[in-house]
Amino acid sequence: MMPARRLSRLVADAVLGVLALAVGGLLLWHGAIPDRAGIMGLVESVLPWFGILIVFFAVVAAVRRSAFVGIGALVSAIVWAALFVPQLTPHQGSGEASLTVISENVDADNPDPGKTVASLAARHPQVIALQELTDTSAQAALTTLDGQYPHHYLVGTVGVWSELPLSHGQSLTLGLGWKRALSVDVKTDAGTVRVYALHAASLRPGEFAQRDTMLGTLAATLRADHSPRLIAVGDFNAASTDRSFRQLLATVDEPRTSQWGLGFTWPAHFPVARVDHILERGLDVVSSVVLPPNGSDHRPIEVGLR
């Protein structure tokens, strides 16, 4: 008969092994778990960080010399690597960008929005999209960008500034009762590019329906839009691993980052998730980078296209 102490250890190792394996199962099948009160949306926003749990179980396996825990951690590590390692490595397109777009949530509480906007203009993109504009920051943006960006279109807290002519600007509610998005055409040498800019509603426990409505309505809008060249840009309040965001990827693509890492953008000084995106259709991506902090609580993103 097996000693009680040894049996207890085997049971503990088996439980730990199952928990280690469950991390990999969650990474693979998180979309099958019902989202109650927006909790899964929050979990899906930080899925890459589940790698820390896998490291924890690997350490436990080594300390306990447990094959059960070690196998569970190994399987989950393979799943994590398959999902995220390709995104960690830089991807650089070919050719020279003919259209550069920068987007940033400038932060409603930003004490110096003019300085933040000026740092974006200093990179000389053709198009700048800003979100979470207040009356103060919108005026600061207008003053800062005047001259260099003679064309602009603002709707509520969202605005687009351009060196190139803009036309056919429309305000969009995306299923809500107020305006948090817009569409506008940018005239480039290669033809017109339709730009959608938005600031999605927030995602918090118990507060997710409005964000999901906006993303779902945007996905339907993009499907119905047959523009040959199209960009959707802004603060989506959703990571690429979020089920509500992934429906957008049926009609547009998200460029892989040209830097090492997963391109996290929020919060600015220790980003844990990429909630800001530039999505495209019908364009070639030359580069995609996350820029350093510049006074906002979000980091700006810049994409070069041709």
Q: Is the peptide bond before 267 cis (omega within 30 degrees of 0)?
A: yes
Give bridge partners of residue 4 from the DSSP assignment.
none
CA distance 293 to 106: 11
Amino acid 1 reads M
Can you give the pLDDT of all 306 residues of the chain as single tens digits?
Answer: 567 778 788 899 999 999 999 999 999 999 999 988 888 989 999 999 999 999 999 999 999 999 999 999 999 999 999 999 999 999 888 889 999 999 999 999 999 999 999 999 999 999 999 999 999 999 999 999 999 999 999 999 999 999 999 999 999 999 998 889 999 999 999 899 999 999 999 988 878 899 999 999 999 999 999 999 999 999 999 999 999 999 999 999 999 999 999 999 999 999 999 999 999 999 999 999 999 999 999 999 999 999
Write down the pLDDT at residue 9: 83
Helices (H) and strands (E) in the chain, counts: 8, 11
DSSP class of residue 252? S
pLDDT value, residue 277: 98
Residue 2: per-residue pLDDT: 60
Single-letter amino acid, residue 230: L
**CB contact set of 181 (below 8 Å; sequence gap of 6+):** 155, 158, 171, 172, 173, 174, 196, 197, 198, 199, 214, 218, 234
Query: What is the distance between the alpha carbons of residues 204 and 66, in angstroms, rounded to a whole number?
Result: 39
Q: CA–CA distance from 74 to each of 59, 65, 83, 238 (Å)?
A: 11, 14, 14, 29
Distances (CA, A) of 149 to 25, 247, 255, 291: 49, 33, 25, 20
Contact 53, 61 (CB under 8 A): no
First vs last C-alpha separation in the chain: 72
